[in-house]
Amino acid sequence: MKLLVCIKQVPDTTEIKIDPVTKTLVRDGVPAIMNPDDKGGLEFALQLKDKFGAEVTVITMGLPQADLILREAFAMGADKAILLTDRKLGGADTLATSKALAGAARMLDWDLVIAGRQAIDGDTAQVGPEMAEHLGIPQISYVADVQYDDKAKKFTVKKETEDGYQILEFQGKALLTCLASAVKPRYMSVGGIVEAYDKEVEIWGADRIDVPETELGLKGSPTKVFKSFTKELKQPGQIHEVDAEEAVELIVAKLKEKHII
C-alpha cells in the first residue's frame, strides 16, 4: 500500500495579525508548524504503515523553509518527502495550489491520497476536494477514522457530519481529508529526529509537474483578495435572568426602543 499525504506549514497562532498596508498575514516572529488537520492525516497514514507496512510519502507546496515540517514527518515515521517549491508557484490560491499538487500526485505511484480537512491559516477546506476533482477520484471529507481490511482490500472510513457520522466503505483509489480532532498524532521519536536530517527531501520545481504555467501561482489564481482585516470585538451583550413571559416583554420593548418594530 502506498500513501501520499499532503501537509502544509502554517503559522502557529490563534490570533492572526494582518499587516494593515499589505493586507496579508504577518508571519514574522510566529512559529511555523505542521497544520493540525494534516498532522491528523499523517497519523492515520502512519497507523496504516504500522499495521500493514504502507509506504508513506509526504508532500508539501511552499517556501524552502517548509523543509522543517517534512523533517518532522520523517521523525514521526514518514518514508519519503517531497518539497514542491518554485517562484512560479507563489501567490497561488486554492485552485492553483490544488492543480499543482494534483500535478505532482500524477507523477507518483499511490493507492490513497490523504490530506487535512483545512489549514488554520486559510480555513478554506478546498484544496483536498479540488485535488480529488483534478485527479478524477472519489473523495471523502471530514474523516475521523480510517480502517483497512487487508483480505478484502477494502477501506472503512468514519466521516463526521454536522449531526453525527457516516461509515463509508470503498475499494480503489480515493482522497480523504482528515480531522485533527479525531486522532492524537504521535510525537516525533528521538531516533527519528536524529535520522531526520540524514534523509533526502526531494525538491521539485514547477518543471517537474505537467501543468501549464498559466494555471499555476498568481497567474492561475482567479481569487483576488479585496481586503483582509481583523474583526473588531463587539461589546458584551446584556444578560437578563427572567422567566419566559418577562423575556418576551423585554425583547419587544428593546425592539421598539430601537425602532425595529
In the complex, the residues that contact another protein under the rule CB under 8 A are 68, 71-72, 75, 187-191, 193-197
Nearer to another protein by Cβ, of 75 and 140: the residue is: 75
Which lies closer to another protein via its Cβ, residue 128 or residue 192? 192
Q: Supply the minimum distance, in Å, between the C-beta of residue 12 and another protein.
A: 11
Burial call 56-68: b when 16+ CB within 10 Å, e when fewer: bbbbbbbeeebbb
Give min distance, CB of 9 to another protein, in A.
Answer: 13
User: Which of 98, 104, 67 minimizes the C-alpha distance to 204?
Assistant: 104
CA 158/CA 207 separation, integer angstroms:
37
Task: Give the whole-angstrom CA distance, residue 22 versus residue 151.
Answer: 55
Phi/psi at 196 (nearest 5 deg)?
Answer: -55, -40
Supply the minimum distance, in Å, between the C-beta of residue 194 and another protein: 5
Strand ranges, E, within 85-209:
112-116, 139-149, 154-161, 164-170, 174-178, 201-204
Q: In what order do the strands lie in the sheet with 174-178?
A: 164-170, 154-161, 139-149, 174-178, 112-116, 2-6, 55-61, 80-84, 201-204
Amino acid found at 165 = Y
CB 209 to another protein: min, Å: 28
Task: Report the residue number, 52 or 187, with the smaller CB distance to another protein.
Answer: 187
Residue type, 162: E
Q: Smallest gap, in angstroms, from Cβ of residue 172 to another protein?
A: 35
Nearer to another protein, 68 or 144 (CB): 68
User: Distance between CA 194 and CA 7 in Å, rounded?
Assistant: 21
Closer Cβ to another protein, 52 or 197, answer by number: 197
In angstroms, give the least distance from the CB of 250 to another protein.
34
Name the residue nearer to another protein (CB basis): 127 or 196: 196
